[in-house]
Amino acid sequence: MRDLQNQVIYVVDDDQGILDSFDAMLGDDYPVVMFNSGTKALDVLQEKTPTLLFLDIKMPGINGIELLKSIHEKGMCTKVVIVTALPQDSYEQMARQYGVYKYLKKPLDVDEVEGITRNVLH
C-alpha cells in the first residue's frame, strides 16, 4: 500500500453538485482538492501535480480537453479520469489521444469512482 501522505486527488468541475458528490464519495478517506474551473486548476497544477485528477469536459474558460492536453504536453505524471455528460464519442477519442486513464459518463457510479481511486492511490 502506498503512503497517502504525499498523494492528492483533484476534482475539476463547474457544477457544485458534482464537486459535493466527489467530496461525499472520497473526502473522508482521501485528500481531495476541488476546483470549479479549468483555469484555477491549471494555475495550481503548475506547482503541485495530483496523483489522480477527475476532470469534466464542458466548462467555461479552459475546458477539460484543453486542460488534459496541457497536462499531456507538460508530461505531468498524473492519472486523469474524464467525467462527462457529453454523449459525443469524438470527445472520448480526443481524451484518449491525450492519454486519459479512464473515461466515465455521468451519472457516476460510486463503486466505480471508489474503485478507480483505490487502484491508483494504493
**Range 81-92 average pLDDT:** 88
Query: CA angle, corner 32, sides to 25 and 96, nearest 5?
Result: 85
**pLDDT of 13 strictly over 80:** yes
Rounded to whole angstroms, the maximal C-alpha distance in the chain is 38
Helix ranges (H only) for the chain are 16-26, 38-45, 64-73, 89-97, 110-121
- Is residue 4 scored above 90 in pLDDT? no
Backbone angles phi, psi at 47, to 5 degrees: -105, -35
What is the CATH class of 4-121?
alpha beta
Extents of the domains making up the chain: 4-121
Q: What is the pLDDT of residues 25-50, one digit of tens each?
A: 999 999 999 999 999 999 999 889 99
pLDDT at 1: 47
Query: What per-residue confidence (pLDDT) applies to 2?
Result: 55
Position 51 pLDDT exceeds 50: yes
